[in-house]
Structure 1
């Protein structure tokens, strides 16, 4: 028996200084159903997190200052909850494919821990970007005004160190880097808390994967690019989960699509079709597809679908930058929460 539930994603538009953006997001949190924590839960070294943010991303620290004031919380509490420093995060699945310069991606997780926010951000002292948020501050994937696209792919949380989770790292890269070269330099300087792949492309058309652990990072240039949830570099394979067959299968399926000379919309439908090997419905196990997104760096536009078999919606990020676009307030789709089958 199938029981579909509507999934609603809020479209957020924030502009101004980072402090003002923090204030704007606090008002949003207070007026919606997003859970707001009122005390520290992670018991991290807040002073170390603050020092690292001040060094690597003072703008995000300013945003959290605004968030703290708007939520009537201490800055230490907001850093503890939202910074992504030294916290654990459940396993998730993500599949990305860079085809003819377009970055196509599925994000697989649980709706109960999903921000359900597509954020358009235009800060005074950073690159404007569009992307899906996680823990408000972080980004699961995104594209900035220069055409840099970055997405995260969980690999393993067994091997961990002192550092940030991937959504915070993706956000920092989008805010500060105009292309892959700058992103590669910065990502090696940031402290990584866990094992993730980072898939990237930019307006040049080149694409690559950064296989990142707390100890080191390895680069894998691919064109076309296919990225799932396992490391491929010989020096990194030991950090994979024991069972990576599902991740390998997704990569093989996309590899077979390359020969079909797909259009961008055809590729989108292969990702978003509810019967596709790339679309998952294991929401209770944190492995259900929540959104499909296409980022087009050269056109500076996004094509997005929420949930299963969603009619794609195209939004011009270029028009947003030119203040010539009225953004939709929300995007809607459907997910099957009662789907029962073996995990892939």
Structure 2
């Protein structure tokens, strides 16, 4: 068991300036060095095309391109290397991963399961002044988001399905960022997800301030939408796209359903997800599917909770108060994870 910590960053201003601030934060951590070591261990199985990536960002996310340029201003890296690490758009290493999501009456709870060495350990509150929606949540691969909420009250999380037969397109954490950056409600999120080019197969779970919700099943070849409250790591509609082995995902879904009655409070849901004894929280870190954090989002009250590791008390944020101009004094939050594997920023 080791103590772990996530930094909290706040920024009000332009995407370019956020990129500058993010790069300065990175320079205080071994994140980029660790990332370069990972690329040496496993060569990328995709291409980087600078011109086409620029064009696709101008079409879908010009503000995020400015953020990457702000980072480059500080890091002084070649554009190809910036795109490899931060653009998350792939042309043309298969690991298993988990993640579990439950949609309550007025909240979303999720466990983020993956490998600690990929984890930024940075929680960001960002209020742009040059376009795009303000967001709160943990960052993934610096510019991406694995879950979060925006100023319109739209909540997003995703669950891995598989990486068989990948396509040219954005990877999951950049797609999560695009949903939060540009969509105000569930219909807009579905429309955007249908229009984007997707690299791999994931389910994107969304809930908005009106408590509409949807689970959008996506592959590079197809997309379908179901209106359900639970999601693990297998498709229910695009079943022909599932992996050959889905028993662990199905069993975890059965445990979740068995433990979650119709009137299930957000506090009970958090405890269910965050306690390893319930077998929804996972300790399979060496298999790239250990639970790193548990998140809860309340779109109507604009509140966000997060806890690192197991059996932890969540850190809570009133996002609306911060949007209204209140400062945030908290600089980090901590937890305990039962593995010797370390975060990318350690």
TM-based fold match above 0.5: yes
Q: Secondary structure of the equivalent of 1:31? A: coil
- Offset of residue 111 of structure 1: 1.0
In the aligned structure 2, how far is the partner of 1:251 from the partner of 1:331?
Answer: 29
Q: Aligned partners of 2:295, 2:281: CA distance in 1, in Å?
A: 13
| 1:58 correspondence with 2:62 | yes
2:3 aligned residue:
6
1:100 aligns with 2:97: no
Q: Do the aligned residues in 2 keep the contact of 1:50 with 1:79 (CA within 8 Å)?
A: no
Equivalent residue for 1:326?
328
Give 3-state SS (helix, strand or coil) of 1:96's partner.
strand
Q: Does 1:46 align with 2:45?
A: no
Deviation at 1:325, TM superposition (A): 3.5
Is contact 1:147–1:203 with CA below 8 Å preserved after alignment? yes
1:186 aligns with 2:192: yes
Does the Cα contact within 8 Å between 2:50 and 2:79 map onto a contact in 1? no
| Residues 104 and 295 in structure 1, CA contact (< 8 A), matched pair in contact too | yes
Partner secondary structure for residue 32 of structure 2: coil
Aligned partners of 1:148 and 1:297 also within 8 Å: yes
CA–CA distance in 2 between the matches of 1:75 and 1:17? Answer: 21
Query: 1:316 — aligned with what?
Result: 318
Q: Unpaired segments of 5 or more residues in structure 2?
A: 342-346
1:305 to 301, 304, 307: 307
Q: What corresponds to 2:85 in structure 1?
A: 81
Equivalent-residue separation in structure 2 for 1:78 and 1:15 (angstroms) = 23
* Counterpart-to-counterpart distance in 1, 2:312 and 2:332: 14
Shift in Å, 1:77: 2.3
Q: 1:38 touches 1:73 (CA, 8 Å); kept in 2?
A: no
- 1:22-41 to structure 2, matched below 5 A, reads 22-36=19-33
Residue 227 of structure 1 corresponds to 231
Q: Which residue does the alignment assign to 1:294?
A: 296
Q: Distance in 2 between matches of 1:328 and 1:74?
A: 35
Secondary structure of 2:192's partner?
helix
Structure 1 unaligned segments of length 5 or more: list them.
Answer: 340-344
Deviation larger for 200-209 or 41-50: 41-50
Distance 1:122 1:89 in 2: 35
C-alpha separation in 2, matches of 1:103 and 1:89 = 28
| Secondary structure of 2:278 counterpart | coil
Q: What's the counterpart of residue 267 of structure 2?
A: 265
Shift in Å, 1:327 = 4.1
Aligned-residue offset at 1:338: 6.8
CA distances 1:153-212 after superposition (whole Å, capped 9, x unpaired)? 110011210001110001011011111111111111110000000011011112111000
Partner of 1:150: 156
Once the two structures are TM-superposed, the CA of residue 38 in structure 1 deviates from its matched residue by 7.2
2:283 is the alignment partner of 1:281: yes
Q: Which residue of 2 aligns with 1:67?
A: 71
Cα distance in 2, alignment partners of residues 313 and 146 from structure 1: 22
Deviations 1:66-114 (A, max 9, x none): 0111111133321222111117674321101110120000001111111
2:272 and 2:248 mapped to 1: Cα distance?
17
Residue matched to 2:344: none
1:342 alignment counterpart: none
State the Cα RMSD in Å.
1.9
